[in-house]
């Protein structure tokens, strides 16, 4: 039943990311919203299946984004690896940890985007990029990703509670 929850949430984030920001002018400065899901999965689970799911989510985002291929896969895998390494030493539900890891996650994705532009178009294209927009992405991500991870945690706890209640009802029959 947990897999069903994550399929629904993944579809929600992918649809939200691909439809909402391009449609509205005030979402021009929107960061990658699926980082919320990747951080949630990275913070709460450490199985190889989660890594495979993150690679799958990244592949979907890469195919839908129109950007450099494997940008999302690489950024999501680096975020997962970074969280797995750091959460061994830090209390992972700490608000400060989630805030810092959110900022670093958005910075990883922005950095990989700059690197992809550098590889494809050279140094002159990098200097023509809008770095103020990248800074806005980092700021918005730092503020909104922890809130999104917290909200997703609440939804997951409610889902888990409902599933357990339903299983108890089935066992009584």
Structural domain spans, the chain: 2-13+31-158
CB count within 10 Å of CB 138 equals 19
Phi, psi of 168 (to 5 degrees): -65, -40
Using one digit for the tens of pLDDT, what is the confidence trace for 22-56? 666 666 667 888 999 999 999 888 788 899 999 99
Read off the pLDDT of residues 75-89 as tens digits, 9 standing for 90 and up: 999 999 998 888 888
């Amino acid at each position: 039943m947990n897999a069903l929850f994550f399929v629904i949430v993944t579809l929600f984030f992918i649809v939200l990311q691909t439809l909402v920001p391009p449609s509205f002018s005030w979402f021009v400065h929107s960061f990658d919203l699926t980082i919320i899901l990747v951080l949630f999965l990275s913070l709460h689970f450490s199985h190889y299946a989660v890594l495979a799911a993150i690679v799958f989510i990244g592949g979907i985002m890469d195919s839908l984004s129109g950007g450099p291929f494997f940008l999302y896969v690489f950024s999501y895998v680096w975020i997962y690896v970074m969280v797995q390494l750091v959460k061994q030493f830090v209390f992972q539900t700490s608000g400060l940890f989630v805030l810092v890891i959110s900022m670093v996650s958005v910075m990883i994705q922005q950095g990989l985007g700059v690197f992809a532009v550098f590889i494809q178009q050279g140094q002159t294209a990098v200097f023509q990029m809008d770095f103020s927009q990248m800074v806005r992405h980092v700021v918005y991500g730092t503020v909104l990703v922890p809130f999104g991870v917290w909200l997703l945690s609440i939804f997951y706890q409610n889902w888990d509670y409902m599933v357990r209640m339903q299983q108890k009802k089935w066992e009584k029959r």
